[in-house]
Amino acid sequence: MVEQQRRDPARDRVAVVTGGSGGIGQAICRRLADDGCAVVINYAGRPAEAERLAATITDRGGRAVAVRADVADEGDVAALFEAAESAFGGVDVVINTAGVMELSPLAELDLAVLDRMHRINIRGTFVVAREASRRVRSGGAIINLSSSVVKIALPTYAAYAASKGAVDALTLILAKELRGRDITVNAVAPGPTATPLFLDGKDQESIDRLARMAPLERLGVPADIAEVVAFLAGPARWVNGQVVYANGGVI
């Protein structure tokens, strides 16, 4: 058996990170830039945060640009990938971080909320993954953001968990559809993680209770998730078609 020639798994690679101006997204962008990736920071809102992050990475000697795109709009997403190719010559890694979370008991669920989460969490992930499957270069990686709540099954999370269950299914099937391309497809499923998205609307008692769920007895932080994503984006070439739970042992 001929051993494949290996190169530095991160150096000189180009990563597109959707939702790159958010809490976990920013941590992922910083970590990948530290690992040597050129980073395309996608945002829909928070343009100032995205531009500031790009400037910070550049000032530290990295390569980064911020590009606005609605992940659920196929024209925007095509333009996002074209911007990445124009700036850095191609795309090797795509991380689907963009997402929204709104909580409600199912009996009280406003269907407009369900539709919004469907549009961003499901349609957005599908649109980006479809474009990635067409453009990512051999040796690359596609990484979707799922959620541990799919298995933890907490009350009020039904709509959000359902949207992330769809992400799990997409991930496992796309990994098989890309057979022969040398492209890995995985999902990372964070547990309770201290981000503005997670903390919004929760009282301190609820936050403390969720923190105690993990044997490590703390909430995750964005850097915990970025570490797992960086592993899948670089050296983890034999991890494929998996949902990796990054939750401190909650399940």
What is the DSSP track for 56-99? HHHHTT-EEEEEE--TT-HHHHHHHHHHHHHHHS---EEEE---
The domains found in the chain, sorted by start residue, are: 14-245 (3.40.50.720)
Q: Which two tokens stand for residue 194?
A: 């201290």
Cβ 153 vs Cβ 223: under 8 Å: no
Both tokens of 121, joined, read: 């969490």
Per-residue pLDDT of the chain (251 residues; tens, 9 = 90+): 333 444 444 558 999 999 999 899 999 999 999 999 999 999 998 899 999 999 999 999 999 999 999 999 999 999 999 999 999 999 999 999 999 989 999 999 999 999 999 999 999 999 999 999 999 999 999 999 999 999 999 899 999 999 999 999 999 999 999 999 999 999 999 988 888 777 777 788 888 888 888 898 888 899 999 999 999 999 999 999 999 999 999 87
Rounded Cα gap, residues 81 and 135, in angstroms: 8
Give every strand in the sheet of 14-18, ordered side by side: 63-68, 38-43, 14-18, 93-96, 141-145, 184-190, 243-246
The partner residues of 67 in beta bridges, in order of sequence, read 42
Angle at 66 between CA 63 and CA 72, to 5 degrees: 130
Q: Is 157 marked active-site? A: no
The model's pTM is 0.91
